[in-house]
Amino acid sequence: MSQRHISIFLFIFFISFVYYIFLFGIETFNPFFTDWLWKGGVSAQNYFGWAFFKNEEWLFPPGKIESFNLSQPTSIGLTDAIPLWAFFFKCFQPFLPNTFQYTGYFLFSNILLLGIVAYYWAKRLTTHFYLQCFFILFIILSPPFLYRLHWNPALSSHWIILGALYTFLNPWQFKNWAFWAIIASLIHPYILAMVFTLILFHFISSPTPNLKKRFVQLIFIFILSFFTLYLTGYFVTGSSLDDLGFGSNQLNLISLFNGYIFHPPFLSYDFNFDSEEGLLYLGFGGIILFVFALFFYFKNLQTFKENPIFNNIYLILAVVLLSIYALASPIRLLNTELFSIFIYDYPPFKQIAGIFRATGRFGWPLFYVLNIFIFAVLFKTLKTKILIPLLSVCLIVQVVDLFPQYTEMHKQNITDVPQIQNYLKPIQNAKWQQITKPNANLILFPSRNIFSFEKDQRWHITWERYIPPAFYITYAAYQYQMRTNYAHSSRMNVDKWQELLFNHLNLLKQGKQMHNTLYIFFDEISPEELSSVVHPDLFKKIEIIDGYPFLPICTKSEKHCVENF
């Protein structure tokens, strides 16, 4: 390896390390430190998926989990717990403590790998060392990547997207596409879908005298990827593939120029529609560079006609198709609905399109292609003595623009952790140890709304009810190695979830309770409400712990203790 390569890799490692430490803190490299993961629903969900998976015996398919949602199986894939890493570390389960996390190292590796893949792109764009460094910095600091680092670790694997785009510009190689497809299958299906799209368009665009062989390779990649998804447990729920809320987390037409989620000092347009999944904000520094790039591109249009980065029609079609899907329907500009795409009105097509609820994520390839376009144009048309000052100023502007988000992440992952530690500390006390039992069931009634629960009220069992205080109980189940009904994962069958709760509720009304089961009620359920739904004989047995009413585990010798419904 040349001195130049060593220098650039050291630069990438240093920048990645400093960036990570500022956002997450050095303590998150400690695999036994998990308190920072309780800051919100997604990171807690990811860790719980891994923790319950680790404590179970191997099942089939290998990614299946039965203790983290008693109403139906879930899996390491459906809890977004990074199957690639989970499978590896579960092999060492006998040697791991109850508290063990790999999220910190995973997030750092995503920053590092994104920088490395960006370097290979930079080499394609320029031979100048400092210009390569600027490109790497803008990619690592990109707002969509930053947002995913904080809120959804698995979806921060943007290096896979950037790597797949790089592979697209090279001649077809089966082993390269198979690698990206398998890695994406073991990280997240949304990223896999983007990789699949690029594979398909690259297949179409690659002339070959042996079309049959190429077609067999394509089919083999698809089969291998779906088999990997099956082993990871993405199909264990048995529910339909289409998800709820298609079009509710879409790309907005202003997404590239709106940083409202980050509350930046420059560009921030608030709108009521939930569209954080469609965050493609270029950053104010990136927008300035984009304007320069457009100007010089059209000024020197003839210069770029022969450049494979600019005239690859199949790559452009793939990215445009993904972006149209990301926009979903109706197409929106801020809060204004412009028009609907009629094809989504047909139930079969809507069901297929609805496989992915958060369609806004499919705009990420567009974001990275635009960044490549910006730097390719500027590197080609401007002299280095102009570029370095311009990029320096824009980089500073970019950092200033995103600094509110940097400080917020620093606060939540580092400054606020002692508050979380204090919040969870009571679970360690002797009383919790007395009322819990390893391998027993913990049934949580999460809200008073369960008594009049409607099928489409999915939020009552996910985000609004997943963060404290109900999350507190799930943490107790994990801490004492119990099985619980209260979990959030993708593709949940709400009917089954509701049926399990109603079966237990009917038992309690009859004065019976399930053997080996601890019942805990959400702390907003008043004693009066409890007395109306729980048999008087059982109501007398209800106790309180940390503000939560609970019904202790019964023994087989007690008459009201039953083995099944």
Q: What is the mean pLDDT of residues 326-332?
A: 85
CA distance from start to end of the chain: 67
Per-residue pLDDT at 309 exceeds 90: no
Kindly indicate the confidence band of residue 270, based on its pLDDT and cuts at 50, 70 and 90.
Answer: low
What SS3 string covers 85-105?
HHHHHHCCHHHCCCCCCCHHH
What per-residue confidence (pLDDT) applies to 456? 38
* 8 A C-beta contact, residue 305 and residue 311: yes
Q: Comparing 12-16, 192-196, 523-527, which segment has the lowest mean pLDDT?
A: 523-527
* 8 A C-beta contact, residue 287 and residue 397: no
Query: Which neighbouring-strand residues pair with 3?
Result: none
What per-residue confidence (pLDDT) applies to 41? 60
Per-residue pLDDT at 223 exceeds 60: yes
DSSP class of residue 553 equals P
Query: Which neighbouring-strand residues pair with 548?
Result: 545
* 8 A C-beta contact, residue 444 and residue 470: yes
Chain center to CA of 158: 11
Q: Which has more confidence, 238 or 15?
A: 15
* 8 A C-beta contact, residue 549 and residue 524: no
Q: Which two tokens stand for residue 198?
A: 């690029």
Cβ neighbors of 492 (< 8 A, separation 6 or more) are 69, 72, 74, 237, 239, 458, 461
Q: What is the mean pLDDT of residues 173-185?
A: 97
